[in-house]
Amino acid sequence: MVKIGYTMMTEQAGPRDLVNHLVRAEEAGFDFSVASDHYFPWLRSQGHSPYVWSVLGAAARATRRIPLMTYVTCPTIRYHPAVVAQKAATMQLLSEGRFRLGLGSGENLNEHVVGGGWPSVDVRHEMLEEAVEIIRALFGGGHVNHRGTHFDVESARLWDLPDEPPPIGVAVSGEQSCELAGRLGDLVIATEPKADLLEAFDRHGGEGKPRVGQLPVCHDPDPHAALERAHSQFRWFGGGWKVNSELPHPDSFEAATQFVTKDDVAGAIPCGDAPDAFVKAVRPYAEAGFTEIALVQIGGEAQLPYLDWAERTLLPALRDALG
C-alpha cells in the first residue's frame, strides 16, 4: 500500500504552528511526515522560515506515532556534515526511532547566507558524497578523523547515539544524483513523478529501497480562493530543479515567475475540495513506483481546515484509489 504523508513546510508557517499542525496530522491518520529545511521562503508571500531542527525536536516530543524526516537538508555549505550527523542522531533519540535524514545537494536560496559561494552541480554532488561518508562514519561510533577534498573532521565523536542510526535518503533530479542515491542512500527522494528517476536509482543499487515523492495541493471549499493562494505562494514550483537550485533570493523567484499565470498553476496543482482531482494528481507518483507520497497543503493558515478534510475525505479517497 502507498503511504500518504504530511509536509511541515517551514516556508509558510511559524514554529509553534508547524508543531501544532503535525500533531493534528498525526491525529488525522497521515502515515508519515516530512519537513523542509530552509533559511529563506521561496516567495515573500509565504512569509516564514524558522530553524527546522528546533521544530523537529519539539515535534518529536509532541507526537507519538508519525515518522519524521528532513526533506531535505543540505549537509555541505550552511551546515558541516559533522554537525548534521549530531543533529540527526539527536533527533533519532528524541523521536524514539522515528526519524529519517533526507539529504540533498541544496539550493542557492538557502546556502548563500554563509558567503561560501555556490559551486557547480558536479562539485555539489562531490560534496554531498563526501558528507554522507562522514555522517555514516560518525553514526558508526568512535572518533572520526577525515581529510577530504571538501571537508576536514578533527577527532569528532557522537556521544549520544541511537541503537539504530537514522536511514539516509538522497534527493534526485537526474542521472548523476540517482547514481549517488542508489549507491549511498537507504531511500530515494524526488519531487517529480518520473519513473526514469526510479529506474536509474534501481540500476545503481536502489532496488527494493523506499522511494518518497512529494507534490503540492491546495484545498479550500472555494476553488477560486485555492487557486489565488496557490498562484500567490507556489508558482515557483514549476521552474524545475535546474532553475530552482540556482536562484539566490525570493526576489529572484518573484522575477522568474512573473509570467506564470493562474491557468499554469491550475494545470499543475489540484485546487478546491474535489477529492477526485487530488487523487488524479497523486496517481502518477504511485504509477511511477513511489512507495510514499507526501502532500504539501499550500498556505499556513489553511492547514487545520485541510487536515479536517483530509481525515474525513481525502485520506479515505486516496487509500481506496491507491491501496
Active-site residue list: 38, 107
Say how far apart CA 156 and CA 147 lie, in whole Å.
Answer: 12
Residue 283 amino acid letter: R
Residue 172: cis peptide before it, omega within 30 degrees of 0? no
Measured CA to CA in angstroms, residue 240 lies from 62, 87, 174, 244 at distances of: 35, 29, 12, 6
**Alpha-carbon distances, residue 322 vs 30, 134, 203, 292 (angstroms):** 14, 38, 26, 11
Spatial distance between the Cα atoms of 68 and 56, rounded to a whole number of angstroms: 8
Here the cell at position 26 is: 498525526
Which residues lie closer than 8 Å to 73 by C-beta, 6 or more apart? 37, 79, 84, 101, 102, 103, 104
Q: CB-hemisphere CA count at 13 Å for 212?
A: 32
Q: Tell me if 308 sits within 8 A of 21, measured CB to CB.
A: no
Q: Could you give the residue ranges of the DSSP H alpha helices within the chain? A: 15-28, 52-62, 81-94, 108-111, 121-139, 175-184, 195-201, 223-234, 241-244, 250-256, 262-268, 275-288, 303-309, 315-322
Closest-CA residue to 233 (of 300, 308, 307): 300
Within a 10 A sphere around the Cβ of 243, how many other Cβ atoms?
14
Give the separation between CA 208 and CA 287, rounded to whole angstroms. 16
Report whether 168 contacts 132 (CB < 8 A).
Answer: yes
